[in-house]
Amino acid sequence: MISTGKQSPGTLAWILEKIHPYVDFFHLREKRWMNQEMVATIQLLISKGIPLEKIMINSRIEVAQSMHTHGVQLTHTADVGMVRKAYGSLYIGCSVHSLEGAVYADGHGADFLLYGHIFETQSKPGLKPRGLSSLKNVAQNTETPVIAIGGITPKNTPVVVEKGATGVAVLSGILLSDDPVKAAQKYRKTLDVKSLD
């Protein structure tokens, strides 16, 4: 699950306290926050019982290291190879938007690839989605786990997994839903059923 940039730290903590059993990782993607706000929010999440090993930080390597979170999620413009050399033990996710970018990140130390957007999504208005065949191509040409993002719903999650995604990333589908707990449970159930196939 990825934060939306539309909720306060208090709201995020309130929701995460209820849904973290159904979520593998929570990616704090708040690009407008200062480092101090990020650190304070991580401390708030910890106080609510959210395990550090479930928290990923967007691009701020120093925050991820100092707070001992699960790892860092790099943007597609960051050089994962340089980050891997400098921070050998850090768990690194890498956003990729092309096969070439995915192959580079795969060969230079990324622990997982966040690939999309797969379907039409409100967060990318007017931008053509990359689609399922593109996802399949990335998954078949890399060894690193691929997480699909963009317009992912419980209904289309099975086909995304069938095309090679190891998992899915969700923003508004959970955090902005009327019932975040119910929404998270639906995604979890769908993924668990697919993993048993």
Q: Whole-model pTM?
A: 0.94
How far apart CA 46 and CA 40 sit, in angstroms, is: 10
150 pLDDT more than 80: yes
Structural domain includes residue 3: no
Average pLDDT over residues 29-58: 96
Tell me which of 123 and 10 has the higher pLDDT: 10
The reply to whether 97 belongs to the active site is: no
Catalytic residue (one of 20, 27, 70, 117): 117
Structural domain includes residue 127: yes
7 pLDDT more than 90: yes
Q: Which domain holds residue 176?
A: 9-191
Task: Report the chain's mean pLDDT, rounded to a whole number.
Answer: 94
97 cis-preceded (ω within 30 degrees of 0):
no
State the amino acid at position 42 in one-letter form. Answer: I
How many domains is the chain built from? 1
pLDDT (tens digit, 9 = 90+) per residue, 73-128? 999 889 999 999 999 889 999 999 999 999 999 999 999 999 999 999 877 777 89
We report the CATH number of the domain holding residue 183 as 3.20.20.70
